[in-house]
Amino acid sequence: MKYFVILFTLAFSTLIAAPVVTVTKSGAEKTVVTIETAGGVELKAYNSSLSRNLERSGYFKVGPNGQIRIKGAPGSSVEARGAGKSVTSSTSFSDAKGARMAARQFADTIIEAHTKKKGFSTKRIAFVNRKGPDNAELYTCYPDGYDIRQLTSDNCAAVGPRWAPNGQDIYYTGFLQKTPLVYRINMEGKRKLLAQFKGLATGAAVSPDGNNCAIILSYQGNPELYVLNFATGRVKRMTKTPAASEASPCWSPDGTKIAYVSDETRRPQVYIIDVASKKSKRFTTKGKENTSPDWGDDGRLTWTSKSQGQSVIMIADPAAGASSAKVVTPAGSWENPSWAADGRHIIASRDRALFIVDTDPDGDKPVQLFFNKGNWMNPSWSR
């Protein structure tokens, strides 16, 4: 069976509640943060978001007698003092939603000041909620799990959301015309068909410079990898595998390579192609099925590897080869990993829920993003 058929079958099938092996991590020593803010009715929303974002970064623990103390009145001025640094935030907001955004911004400021690492608190996550056999709607929220927002209400399938580099537009595959086609939608819900192609169009991923789009098209036969230039509207065919199908492209940080999935060996595996020369090479060597690659800003690749009915999330440095691959989750029903801006965390789906995965060897166990009822899948983290 062709891989693009497998892809959509997986997207709309019921997720298997596979048994999960529990892995206990000792965890690295964290800096304790004590929050001692005071203020009005939005204080609870501010403190809750600030606590979640600091703890989900993997570097901090919120508790009493901390090395860092956060004092002040959210909505005017708040200071985080301790551990050799003083960080101040002057904000104003009028409701709980604004309070949470101010907390996210301050959390990232604290994280970057104390770790020299990029924070992800303000970077939205796009995902899908499957509501029925042919109904999957597109949503977004923030890494603290708050402010969930529904973007589509089409009563038809939406799958595979991917953020554009601007962090405002999402490209996804929709079935508004019964055939899978790629649409662009922004945070106001304004949508546009990318282009009208004969056959299917899916898996769109925008290049880091925003000028091109890797996309899977079938207008010349079986699903193949192409690159669409936004300025000219022209497409360049990258693969020629008449006995196989391609899927799930993603760009390297410098825009010179594309990782994608092909079932050329009769099982889906991850390949990497040089955009200029069109020379392709198989990357994954272990696991019966390797799917859903995502290339992080630090150059590492993540993907899902399945064997014996169980799947795990893998990471590797393509420059070091497949031998650098490491497993970062317990075995289960993991799908669709997507890197965070910090290069340490991944968002992925498992058992109808979304989890933030810490890839640090001494990091936290996977944390469920939120606990709202639904069949949540296909996450993508803006960077």
At 1, the pLDDT band (50, 70, 90 cuts) reads very low
> 38 and 13 in one domain?
no
At 28, the pLDDT band (50, 70, 90 cuts) reads confident
| pLDDT score of 273 more than 90 | yes
> 235 and 344 in one domain?
yes
> 147 and 83 in one domain?
no
Q: What is the pLDDT of residue 91?
A: 87
What is the percent of the chain where pLDDT is above 70? 93
Q: What is the pLDDT of residue 27?
A: 56
> 316 and 286 in one domain?
yes
Query: Using CA atoms, how far apart are residues 163 and 169, in angstroms rounded to an integer?
Result: 6
| pLDDT score of 337 more than 80 | yes
* CA-to-CA dists, residue 48 to 39, 52, 103, 118, 243, angstroms: 14, 6, 9, 21, 53
For residues 190-197, average pLDDT: 94
At 40, the pLDDT band (50, 70, 90 cuts) reads confident
For residues 144-167, average pLDDT: 97
What integer best gives the mean pLDDT of the chain?
92
> 218 and 93 in one domain?
no
Q: Which of 115, 146, 166 is the last residue of a domain?
A: 115
| pLDDT score of 187 more than 90 | yes
Torsion of CA 114, 115, 121, 123, to 10 degrees: 140
> 227 and 147 in one domain?
yes
| pLDDT score of 16 more than 90 | no
The radius of gyration of the chain from alpha carbons, rounded to an integer in Å, stands at 21
For residues 190-206, average pLDDT: 95
> 169 and 93 in one domain?
no
| pLDDT score of 326 more than 70 | yes
| pLDDT score of 17 more than 50 | no
Query: Using CA atoms, how far apart are residues 343 and 358, in angstroms rounded to an integer?
Result: 10
Amino acid at residue number 178? K
At 155, the pLDDT band (50, 70, 90 cuts) reads very high
Domain of residue 70 covers 31-115
Q: What is the pLDDT of residue 315?
A: 98
271 half-sphere exposure, CB direction, 13 A CA radius: 25
Q: What is the pLDDT of residue 7?
A: 46
Q: What CATH number is attached to the domain comprising 46?
A: 3.30.360
> 272 and 205 in one domain?
yes
Decide: 273 and 263 in contact? Cβ < 8 Å: no
> 185 and 42 in one domain?
no
> 207 and 136 in one domain?
yes
At 3, the pLDDT band (50, 70, 90 cuts) reads very low
Number of H helices, E strands in the chain: 3, 29
| pLDDT score of 10 more than 90 | no
Instruction: Cite the beta strand spans of 325-371 per DSSP E.
Output: 326-327, 335-339, 345-350, 353-358, 367-368
Q: Which helix (H) or strand (E) is 46 found in, with range?
A: helix 43-56
> 128 and 104 in one domain?
no
For residues 40-60, average pLDDT: 96
Q: What is the pLDDT of residue 209?
A: 98
For residues 225-240, average pLDDT: 97
| pLDDT score of 119 more than 70 | yes
Q: Which of 115, 147, 174 is the last residue of a domain?
A: 115
Please state the domain count of the chain: 2
> 270 and 191 in one domain?
yes
Q: What CATH number is attached to the domain comprising 129?
A: 2.120.10.30
At 190, the pLDDT band (50, 70, 90 cuts) reads very high
Q: Which of 80, 115, 150 is the last residue of a domain?
A: 115
